[in-house]
């Protein structure tokens, strides 16, 4: 088909094609080099800077909290709008200056009344009303919204507004509820604004108005979110006129961005990269207890794992101290049980907690003990199993490999099965096909001591749709959980949590390894006035930030 | 092989044939564009089947890691119509696509079309710059190598082209990132940049990396095609008539050598599109490649479907364009065949 | 979407196009050494690894190069150098399977298509043209990523997608052979068709077949390591060069040697195999000897 008799349309214009192409190539290269030099020259920032440049790692899917349930989202939302109550360092509800209500009261264990502060203005000048506050809760409860925070309201019978009060009725007493108004499900929105923007609410073309010290001015998905002062804000003024949250998904790039001064700071430090960040020069690194935990669940109804000796053998085979040092540079803390003690110690005297902890069984690292436990089981020589690892979760992957190595020493072969994160989560929700071992990492949803026990230990949650991935069932534990939730006294919950820990640790349905360290990196000389707590993202974290 | 003759300029007598040729060309383009429909349909079925055959399914993605309850799962099933039988779901999706509605991303809640269009410029600029580099540098170097056949320069260029062709772009990217981004500090290390100059600055290094791989390919192709032309009798004839070497090279040999290079341009486009997935990952750029990877690893099924359709259309259209271009550069053969 | 020119002339031309002449002999020697070294490491690597490539040391993670760990350690404290050595076998096995499948299927379908002509040729050609225009690696990324299969699924997908190139190439070569006198002579002597196709013709075009297999090998190596780099295909923890790159990438600026060494291994290996493939073609093929 190709003939070589010469093209009939060989015009004279082609005469110097080669030359032209060469010249064009040189021109392009020159342009590129030129651009790189000019760019390098303009990359520096001035010394006095009213703009705060903060790096985030995940692309915000929405600026409406119903569609963005994550610490980075909450961290930005907290600057733009009030929560109903102001969360303290441990997430405890208060009526401080950043709360939308001036007082609250549990009239009965199932009836809560909140009195809305007068004169709080949204960034469009309208005033926050009780109707807005009630709407802000109801919007998540409405199935049609599809809010990711729907389940926070499963015990809520109704939310109503009358005058300047908002009344929340619960189906049954639940002492966890008191914390919800101080967390992400309780960010306040304007009902009129939501009605006006409709489906666009929270998208780049429908930036929500808020009551916080800053307002959204730009939302460029996959790039950045920009905040400027809300002129209707009456509270404390922070030093920055403008806050830019730049999306830098790559952890390496974030590190370099902080070191080079292109970014003032970030909270987005992956747990597994902490060893790198700790050592990095030209910046200040800090860590705190996030209240989260990382570890494993073991399905107590699945094959070899039915045998408690097998579960104990696995627990003994893991060197928690070394793992914590290696994977978190010892910024995390070794966990011997759940819930993390962080949420118990504040509620009870130290002596009481320490005395109770003495009764909690622990499994210090010992290959010999692990082998001895396994010898007592029906699988003295070990067996093979599969561990699902969610894609994209590097700490999960590292922890999974550590488990693989640990258990291989006692003859338990673990094969890692990578799957998309959501699919892996679906396996947990469906409780099939292969629960077996699961690698988990969870942040706290509330500072209530029963936060994790309720989620992970309760018998009725060992069913499709729930997260008791160990299929753990214990009537006594259920009773303690119920009792704690029904009681308004958190001390009861704290004491029960310690009792639960004793029982559960004997049965080993879960093996917590370490607490997930929260971390920040800022410019040299910058820092936070007071230590950040597990719910820093729900607080006005900006008020603690000290800049030079 | 037809007898070789020296090229001639077009004469007015060819006017009628020229019109006929144009009509034929129009029909040809129309015919090829029609193929787009069944092909895209096939791709849509394949994409839909693949994403729905995957274990797990979309519900978990929708829930992310938020605490769950059965009612919530029901609500999501209802909202996204996941209870319907698969053919119905397919119909819902494809009829939406036909009206320009590709659905919403499960991971980001943004419309698929918005996600694609907001990131398109990154991939497009990388590809265009890469192809420009591959052609504007690769072709002249290939010609140069052919002219210096067997000499040192030829060998050196050939070795360079082998190197770039067999080096994975992500490896090349990492080296470039370390050497020119980190050590030399010439280029920024992350992100797409703001404003025109800054963006060019940010995309320059990834584009060069992408272009180098393509450059190896075009260089080698051009060299081989030029050598083939040099051995043709008409070149010898032209030389015998006393035409200068540069004249022969540029006017006759190069023109004809362009034909096979054009034919392979489709491959070059496809290759660069694939390469940009890796380059974007290395440099952390928000383009279609990183979007595809995050959608695939994150189980974002509407996004995967939409992207596959988009990429398929892209590749098919580029191939059609190349075919048409090919007919332009080498007009007579196809036309003769179509007539006969 | 199918390039209009796909007949014998083009294919022949394509053969020439991929061929490369006159790589300096020094590069050829180096290529043989590199390939030999990697094959050696794949077989005897476990004997010379300075450390156990899978042994974690959580108290010595992400360490820079030291006398004990020449290339440092990864985020789980494993010795990077030992892991590179241990990665030699997966750099050979997968690509070998892909190349070998391409060789078998390419020869089988290519010669059949080129020699028999007719409907079989038509069908095979349409199919090949279609597959040739597919972005193989992209498809592998999507399938392996969505289905969640591991290394072997990746090898399978690449093997299938890779066949087209070989078929096209070998068909062209077979077409050329068909017209040669020896085939005519064999036919007149009553030699069965399959014998002509797979003994006579195959033998004559085998340099092309092997050169192409070498090229396939290099391409598969690049494709598999690209998949691994994206976290697809190979299993986590496996000593696989592409995966090591992505797992260690966070150390790029603190331990560049450790991160970039696996990249160098891929680059050297792929380039060397390509050079050797080209050399086979140039040295032994009919077209190569008589051509330019």
SS (H, E, C) chain C: CCCCCCCHHHHHHHHHHHCCCCCCHHHHHHHHHHHHHHHHHHHHHHHHCCCCCCCCCCCCCCCCCCCCCCCCECCCCCEHHHHHHHCHHHHHHHHHHHHHHHHHHHHHHHHHHHHHCHHHHHHHHHHHHHHHCCCHHHHHHHHHHHHCCEHHHHHHHHHHHHHHHHHHHHHHHHHHHHCCHHHHHHHHCCCCHHHHHHHHHHHHHHHHHHHHHHHHHHHHHHHHHHHHHCCCECCCCCCCHHHHHHHHHHHCCCCHHHHHHHHHHHHHHHHHHHHHHHHHHHHHCHHHHHCC
Q: Token pair of A528, please?
A: 């936070």
User: Quick check: helix, strand or coil at residue A521?
Assistant: strand
Our CA-based measurement puts residue A199 at a distance from the nearest CA of chain B, in whole angstroms, of 11
Would you say residue A54 has pLDDT above 90? yes
ipTM (interface predicted TM)? 0.83
Query: Which residues neighbour A39 within 8 Å (Cβ) at sequence distance 6 or greater?
Result: B188, B193, B197, B198, B200, B201, B202
Do B58 and B29 lie in a common domain? Answer: yes
> What pLDDT is recorded for position B93?
85
- Chain A residues whose CB is inside 8 A of the B290 CB are 249
In this structure, are residues B320 and C1 in contact, taking their beta carbons and an 8 Å threshold? yes
CB contact under 8 A, A8 and B332: yes
Q: Which of A62, A146, A392 sits opposite B297 (nearest CB)?
A: A392
Q: What is the sign, positive or negative, of the torsion defined by CA atoms of A65, A66, A68, A72?
A: positive
Do B126 and B233 lie in a common domain? Answer: yes
**How many CB atoms are located within 10 Å of the residue B132 CB?**
16
Q: Would residue B325 count as lying in a domain? A: no
Cα separation, C281 vs C275, in Å, equals 10
Beta bridge partners of A439: A296
> What pLDDT is recorded for position A428?
86
Q: pLDDT band at C21, cuts 50/70/90? A: low
Secondary structure of A450-488 as H, E, C letters = CHHHHHHCCHHHCCCCCCCCCCCCCHHHHHHHHHHHHCC
Bridge-based pairing of strands A527-528 and A265-266 is unpaired
Average pLDDT in the C91-108 region?
93
Would you say residue C290 has pLDDT above 50? no
Average pLDDT in the C21-42 region?
84
Between residues 344 and 403 of chain A, which touch chain B (CB distance below 8 Å)? Answer: 391-392
Q: Which of B75, B187, B252 sits opposite A146 (nearest CB)?
A: B75
Q: Would residue B204 count as lying in a domain? A: yes
- Chain A residues whose CB is inside 8 A of the B198 CB are 39, 42
Would you say residue B74 has pLDDT above 80? no
Do B270 and B238 lie in a common domain? Answer: yes
Do B101 and B229 lie in a common domain? Answer: no
Q: Which of B130, B179, B187, B175 is nearest to A28 (CA)?
A: B130
In this structure, are residues A137 and A455 in contact, taking their beta carbons and an 8 Å threshold? no
CB contact under 8 A, B188 and A39: yes
What is the maximum alpha-carbon separation in chain B?
87
Residues C199-235 pLDDT 10s: 888 888 888 888 889 989 999 999 999 999 988 888 7
CB contact under 8 A, A248 and B191: yes
**How many CB atoms are located within 10 Å of the residue B233 CB?**
14
Cα separation, B212 vs A377, in Å, equals 60
Say which residue the tokens 């071992």 belong to. A437
CB contact under 8 A, C54 and A405: yes
> What pLDDT is recorded for position B242?
64
Q: Would residue B323 count as lying in a domain? A: no
Q: Which of C167, C111, C56, C190 is nearest to A319 (CA)?
A: C56
Angle subtended at Cα A155 by Cα A154 and Cα A160, rounded to the nearest 5 degrees: 100
Q: Does the CB of C236 have a partner CB in chain B at under 8 Å?
A: no
Say which residue the tokens 């490999």 belong to. A401
Q: Would residue B201 count as lying in a domain? A: yes
CB contact under 8 A, B56 and A426: yes
Residues A147-174 pLDDT 10s: 888 888 988 999 999 999 999 999 988 8
CATH code where residue B194 lies: 1.10.3720.10
Nearest CA in chain B to A64: B109
Region of C72 please: left (phi>0), alpha (psi -120 to 50) or beta: left
Task: Kindly report which listed range (A361-375, B28-42, B317-331, C217-231) carries the lowest average pLDDT score.
Answer: B317-331
Our CA-based measurement puts residue B140 at a distance from the nearest CA of chain C, in whole angstroms, of 16
Q: Would residue B184 count as lying in a domain? A: yes
Would you say residue B233 has pLDDT above 80? no
Our CA-based measurement puts residue C170 at a distance from the nearest CA of chain B, in whole angstroms, of 18
Cα separation, C67 vs A104, in Å, equals 65
Looking at per-residue pLDDT, the higher value among A365 and B26 belongs to A365
Do B48 and B180 lie in a common domain? Answer: no
Q: Does the CB of A247 have a partner CB in chain B at under 8 Å?
A: yes
> What pLDDT is recorded for position A3?
32
Nearest CA in chain A to C64: A276
Range(s) of the domain holding residue B183:
118-298
- Chain C residues whose CB is inside 8 A of the B149 CB are 292
In this structure, are residues C252 and C195 in contact, taking their beta carbons and an 8 Å threshold? no
Residues B104-127 pLDDT 10s: 777 766 788 888 988 898 999 999
- Chain C residues whose CB is inside 8 A of the A419 CB are 148
Q: Which of C3, C24, C264 sits opposite B155 (nearest CB)?
A: C24
Do B142 and B199 lie in a common domain? Answer: yes
CB contact under 8 A, B60 and A429: yes
Q: Would residue B320 count as lying in a domain? A: no
Return the percentage of chain C with pLDDT > 90, whole number. Answer: 28
Q: Does the CB of C77 have a partner CB in chain A at under 8 Å?
A: yes
Residues B261-305 pLDDT 10s: 777 777 888 889 999 999 998 888 889 998 999 888 877 888 898
Cα separation, A305 vs B43, in Å, equals 44
Average pLDDT in the C94-115 region?
91
Q: Would residue B11 count as lying in a domain? A: no
Q: Would residue B316 count as lying in a domain? A: no
Size of interface B-C (CB pairs under 8 A): 166
Say which residue the tokens 């404290």 belong to. C77
Average pLDDT in the C117-128 region?
85
Do B292 and B165 lie in a common domain? Answer: yes
Cα separation, C162 vs C224, in Å, equals 12
In this structure, are residues B284 and B272 in contact, taking their beta carbons and an 8 Å threshold? no
Our CA-based measurement puts residue B310 at a distance from the nearest CA of chain C, in whole angstroms, of 13
Q: Which of C138, C219, C263 sits opposite B171 (nearest CB)?
A: C263
Average pLDDT in the A465-489 region?
90
Cα separation, B138 vs B222, in Å, equals 8
Q: Does the CB of C231 have a partner CB in chain A at under 8 Å?
A: yes
CB contact under 8 A, B277 and C222: no
Our CA-based measurement puts residue C140 at a distance from the nearest CA of chain B, in whole angstroms, of 11
Q: Does the CB of A151 have a partner CB in chain B at under 8 Å?
A: yes
Do B180 and B84 lie in a common domain? Answer: no
Do B46 and B153 lie in a common domain? Answer: no
Residues A284-307 pLDDT 10s: 999 998 889 999 999 998 889 999
Between residues 17 and 36 of chain C, which touch chain B (CB distance below 8 Å)? Answer: 17-24, 27
Q: Which of C10, C150, C236 sits opposite A1 (nearest CB)?
A: C10
Q: Does the CB of A144 have a partner CB in chain B at under 8 Å?
A: yes
Residues C228-240 pLDDT 10s: 998 888 878 888 9
CB contact under 8 A, B70 and A465: yes
> What residue spans of A130-273 are helical by DSSP H?
130-141, 191-197, 251-260
Q: Which of B205, B209, B225 is nearest to B139 (CA)?
A: B225
Number of domains chain B is built from: 2
In this structure, are residues A111 and A117 in contact, taking their beta carbons and an 8 Å threshold? no
Would you say residue A420 has pLDDT above 60? yes
Q: pLDDT band at A1, cuts 50/70/90? A: very low
> What residue spans of chain B are helical by DSSP H?
15-53, 58-63, 70-79, 86-98, 112-147, 152-166, 169-176, 196-230, 233-240, 245-247, 254-263, 265-283, 288-298, 301-329, 331-339
CB contact under 8 A, A14 and B250: yes
Q: What is the sign, positive or negative, of the torsion defined by CA atoms of B86, B88, B92, B95?
A: positive
Do B198 and B230 lie in a common domain? Answer: yes
- Chain A residues whose CB is inside 8 A of the C56 CB are 326, 401-402, 405
Q: Which of C9, C13, C135 sits opposite B274 (nearest CB)?
A: C135
Q: Token pair of A108, please?
A: 């009965």
Do B175 and B196 lie in a common domain? Answer: yes
Q: pLDDT band at B336, cuts 50/70/90? A: very low
> What pLDDT is recorded for position C10?
38
CB contact under 8 A, B191 and A253: yes
Average pLDDT in the A358-379 region?
92
Do B101 and B208 lie in a common domain? Answer: no
> What pLDDT is recorded for position A513?
94
Our CA-based measurement puts residue A521 at a distance from the nearest CA of chain B, in whole angstroms, of 18
Give the start-end residues of each E strand in A397-470.
413-419, 437-442
Size of interface A-B (CB pairs under 8 A): 243
């Amino acid at each position: 088909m190709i003939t070589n008799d010469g093209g009939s349309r060989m015009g004279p214009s082609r005469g110097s094609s080669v030359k032209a192409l060469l010249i064009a190539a040189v021109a392009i290269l020159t342009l590129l080099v030129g651009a790189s030099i000019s760019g390098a020259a303009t990359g520096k920032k001035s010394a006095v800077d009213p703009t705060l440049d903060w790096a985030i790692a995940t692309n915000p899917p929405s600026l409406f909290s119903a569609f963005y349930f994550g610490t980075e989202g909450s961290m930005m939302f907290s600057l733009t709008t009030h929560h109903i109550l102001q969360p303290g360092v441990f997430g405890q509800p208060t009526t401080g200056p950043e709360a939308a209500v001036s007082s609250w009261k549990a009239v009965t264990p199932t009836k809560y009344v909140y009195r809305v502060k007068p004169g709080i203005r949204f960034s469009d000048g309208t005033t926050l009303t009780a109707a807005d506050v009630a709407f802000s809760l109801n919007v998540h409860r409405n199935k049609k919204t599809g809010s990711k925070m729907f389940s926070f309201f499963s015990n809520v019978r109704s939310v109503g507004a009358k005058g300047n009060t908002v009344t929340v009725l619960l189906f049954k007493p639940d002492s966890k509820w008191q914390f919800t108004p101080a967390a992400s499900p309780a960010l306040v929105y304007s009902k009129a604004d939501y009605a006006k923007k409709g489906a666009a609410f929270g998208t780049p073309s429908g930036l929500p108005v808020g009551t916080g010290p800053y307002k959204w001015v730009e939302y460029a998905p996959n790039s950045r979110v920009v905040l400027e002062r809300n002129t209707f804000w009456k509270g404390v003024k922070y030093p920055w006129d403008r806050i830019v949250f730049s999306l830098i998904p790559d952890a390496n790039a974030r590190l370099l961005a902080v070191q080079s001064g292109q970014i003032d700071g970030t909270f987005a430090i992956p747990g597994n990269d902490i060893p790198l960040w700790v050592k990095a020069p030209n910046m200040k690194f800090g860590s705190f207890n996030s209240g989260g935990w990382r570890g494993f669940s073991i399905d107590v109804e699945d094959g070899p794992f039915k045998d408690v000796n097998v579960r104990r053998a696995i627990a003994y085979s893991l060197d928690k101290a070394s793992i914590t040092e290696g994977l978190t540079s010892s910024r995390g803390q070794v966990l011997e049980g759940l819930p993390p003690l962080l949420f118990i110690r504040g509620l009870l005297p130290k002596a009481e907690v320490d005395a109770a902890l003495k009764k909690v069984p622990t499994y210090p690292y010992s290959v010999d003990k692990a082998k001895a436990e396994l010898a007592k089981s029906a699988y003295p020589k070990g067996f093979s199993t599969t561990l699902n690892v969610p894609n994209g979760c590097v700490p999960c992957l590292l922890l999974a490999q550590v488990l693989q190595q640990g258990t291989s020493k006692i003859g338990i072969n673990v094969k890692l099965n990578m799957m998309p994160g959501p699919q892996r989560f679906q396996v947990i929700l469906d409780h099939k096909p292969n629960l077996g071992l699961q690698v988990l990492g969870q942040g706290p949803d509330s500072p209530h001591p029963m936060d994790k026990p309720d989620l992970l230990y309760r018998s009725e949650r060992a069913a499709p749709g729930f997260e008791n991935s160990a299929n753990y069932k214990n009537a006594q534990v259920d009773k303690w959980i119920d009792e704690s939730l029904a009681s308004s006294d958190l001390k009861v919950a704290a004491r029960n949590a310690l009792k639960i820990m004793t029982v559960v640790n004997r049965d080993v349905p879960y093996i917590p390894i370490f607490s997930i360290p929260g971390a920040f990196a800022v410019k040299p000389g910058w820092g936070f006035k007071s230590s950040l707590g597990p719910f820093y993202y729900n607080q006005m974290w900006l008020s603690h930030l000290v800049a030079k | 092989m037809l007898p070789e003759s020296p090229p001639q300029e077009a004469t007015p007598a060819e006017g009628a044939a020229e019109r006929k040729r144009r009509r034929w060309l129009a029909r040809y383009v129309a015919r090829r564009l029609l193929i787009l429909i069944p092909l895209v349909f096939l791709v849509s079925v394949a994409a839909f089947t693949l994403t729905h055959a995957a274990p797990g399914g979309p519900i978990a993605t929708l829930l992310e890691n938020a605490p769950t309850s059965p009612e919530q799962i029901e609500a999501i099933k209802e909202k996204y119509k996941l209870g319907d039988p698969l053919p119905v779901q397919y119909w819902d999706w494809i009829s939406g696509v036909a009206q320009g509605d590709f659905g919403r991303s499960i991971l980001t809640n943004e419309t698929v079309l918005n996600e694609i269009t907001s990131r398109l410029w990154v991939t497009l600029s990388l590809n265009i710059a890469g192809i420009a580099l591959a052609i504007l540098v690769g072709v002249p170097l290939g010609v140069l190598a052919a002219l210096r056949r067997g000499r040192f320069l030829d060998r050196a260029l050939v070795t360079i082209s082998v190197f770039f062709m067999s080096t994975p772009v992500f490896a090349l990217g990492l080296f470039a990132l370390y050497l020119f981004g980190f050590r030399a500090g010439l280029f920024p290390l992350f992100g797409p940049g703001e404003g025109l100059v800054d963006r060019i600055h940010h995309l320059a290094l990834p584009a060069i990396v992408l272009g180098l791989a393509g450059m190896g390919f075009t260089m080698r192709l051009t060299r081989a095609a030029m050598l083939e032309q040099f051995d043709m009798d008409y070149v010898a004839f032209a030389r015998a008539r006393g035409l200068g070497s540069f004249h022969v090279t540029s006017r006759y040999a190069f023109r004809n050598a362009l034909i096979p290079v054009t034919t392979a341009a489709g491959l070059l486009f496809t290759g660069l599109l694939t390469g940009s997935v890796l380059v974007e990952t290395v440099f952390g750029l928000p383009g279609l490649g990183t979007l595809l990877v995050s959608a695939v690893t994150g189980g974002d099924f509407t996004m995967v479907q939409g992207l596959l359709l988009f990429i398929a259309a892209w590749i098919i259209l580029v191939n059609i364009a190349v075919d048409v271009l090919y007919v332009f550069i080498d007009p007579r053969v196809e036309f003769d065949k179509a007539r006969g | 979407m199918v390039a209009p020119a796909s007949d014998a002339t083009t294919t022949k031309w394509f053969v020439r196009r991929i061929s490369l002449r006159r790589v300096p002999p020094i590069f050829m020697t180096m290529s043989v050494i590199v390939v030999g070294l990697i094959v050696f490491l794949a077989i005897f690597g476990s004997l010379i690894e300075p450390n156990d490539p899978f042994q974690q040391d959580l108290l010595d993670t992400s360490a820079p190069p030291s006398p004990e760990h020449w290339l440092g350690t990864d985020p789980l404290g494993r010795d990077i150098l030992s892991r590179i050595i241990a990665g030699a076998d997966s750099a050979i096995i997968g690509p070998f399977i892909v190349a070998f499948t391409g060789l078998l299927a390419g020869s089988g379908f290519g010669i059949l298509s080129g020699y028999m002509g007719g409907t079989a040729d038509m069908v095979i050609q349409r199919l090949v043209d279609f597959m040739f225009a597919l972005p193989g690696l992209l498809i592998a990324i999507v399938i392996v990523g969505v289905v969640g299969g591991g290394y072997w699924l990746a090898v399978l997908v690449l093997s299938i997608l890779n066949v087209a190139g070989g078929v096209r190439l070998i068909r062209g070569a077979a077409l050329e052979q068909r017209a040669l006198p020896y085939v005519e002579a064999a036919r007149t002597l009553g030699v069965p068709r399959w014998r002509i196709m797979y003994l006579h013709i195959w033998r004559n075009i085998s340099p092309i077949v092997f050169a192409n297999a070498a090229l396939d090998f290099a391409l598969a190596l690049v494709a598999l390591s690209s998949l691994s780099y994206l976290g697809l295909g190979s299993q986590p923890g496996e000593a696989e060069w592409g995966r090591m790159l992505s797992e260690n990438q966070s150390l790029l600026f603190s331990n560049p040697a450790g991160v970039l060494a696996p990249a160098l291994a891929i680059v050297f290996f792929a380039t060397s195999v390509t050079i050797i493939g080209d050399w086979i073609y140039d040295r032994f093929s009919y077209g190569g000897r008589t051509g330019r």
